[in-house]
Structure 1
Amino acid sequence: MDPAECLLVLGDQSRPSKISKKATHDSLKNEFQNQYPHQIHDAVPVVLQIWDNDWSYWVDIPTTDDITLVSGSKVRMIQRSNVGKRLGNLSQDSCAFFCCDMQERFRPAIAHFEDIVLVSKRLLDGAYALDIPVLVTEQYPKGLLKTVPELNITKANAVIEKTVFSMMVPEMEKKLEELGNLQSVVLFGVEAHVCIQQTALDLLARGIEVHVVADATSSRSDVDRHIAFERLRSHGAIITTAETALLQLVKDKNHPKFKEIQGLIKATPPQNGLSSL
């Protein structure tokens, strides 16, 4: 069987390689080590992904199953260098806020929607005050309409349309590369068990710490919301609140923006079903 002509992607580099059309996770990892001998470290856990042309999306390659390659396949390796170091700290210079699909059509369908809009507004205003990058997605806005007007996304670094559930579409990947030293993401929006969960898992696979804001995140049902939080905790995500995240970022009452952040969190956050995790 003739080998497949593939492209191996590591960071911003790519190299052609001839690989057996029947490959395994280990054989692909070995090929990366051959192609990038001074950049791959055995002690660092890795994620391997293949580009899906139909979905225009990177898909994780299972560690146990064989995978079929064809000529033109693109395979990417992500080294998770910060695995095991998740302390839950947030810093202004290495953080971004992800606002996921807070759109008008979801208003009547999502549990506690008005409450998560209120809390999301605090998060966005806080991010703008602290000069933290804000990245917004909108799921199929032609059908689900645009982000709700209560949320000011005019100052966002990007507003990206998507049809896949995860926020990690190619345009978002490019934005993350532009941010450079991104270590943590504060993630909120809808739905907890679909777009939020898939985004969080994609970010965790890239070695990025994820803080899911419980009082700004919901689903159509509380059951789906709660189970999503349980799963994300088990994979290393941090389930937090808006006030916790914002105060972690200012850290000190002498911070020049403390009074502004204090003004945002002064009102008691919603105390309904959102408090049940």
Structure 2
Amino acid sequence: MIIDQTETPVLQQTTAIGGKAIYPSLADKRVIVTGGGSGIGEGLVEAFVAQGARVAFVDVADDASHALLARLTPGAVHEPLYRHCDLTDIAQLKSIFAEIETVLGGVDILINNAGNDDRHGIDEVTPDYWDQRLNVNLRHQFFAAQAVVPAMKRAGGGVILNFGSISWHLALPDLVLYQTCKAAIEGLTRGLARDLGREGIRVNTVVPGNVQTPRQEKWYTPEGEAEIVAAQCTDGRIQPSDVAALVLFLSSDDARMCTGHDYFIDAGWR
């Protein structure tokens, strides 16, 4: 039998250093992370920088973001870039993203991580608060994707990862607007994946469980955290680095046939 090897794609081998996977396909990739200054976003920025990617991140938390730059820049293959950006201001979003694209020379990967899970009761919601919550948690994900799609098309493809939440799958209390947005994000992912797939652009949703960050710790007592772990299938608290491990895989060429779906990193929390 004669095998035509020209039909067989050559995949770069994934290696591991210090117990963590290194994806050769992520080296030099141009990445934008929203909400990258702290929490999960900080872990994502750190992970992409460690892969040798060209990373830009946006946030409104300047002090935390500059501290992250100071920590990551020494020894980085490519110095990370930070820009202050209020994602609820779509004109500002488009302007900052255009600047980043120019500096990086394009955009290969967009991580729509930014969000805000402030608690609220149903009787507290006004029309203005409704609009503000949707702007903070949903609207910017679409317009950030819209902003990078032309560059990805010119490059022949790209990756968009939208961050959802386990909260609406569990029907957690006092989060009705946040959960409305996070449920809609999974629909956004499906629509974008369908419309952009033939352009070589993959779109998925990352659905974290309860990740141990300073922000989340302000919502839960030690007893509440123990209840979460008891409801998980595995022991331990999910860390930003655990979420980053999933994000790196989905962003890499190893996940080239993964699109239009939701990927949970929740320790089996039910």
Same fold per superposition (TM over 0.5): no
Larger fraction in strand:
1
TM-score range, shorter chain: 0.3 to 0.5
Larger radius of gyration: 1
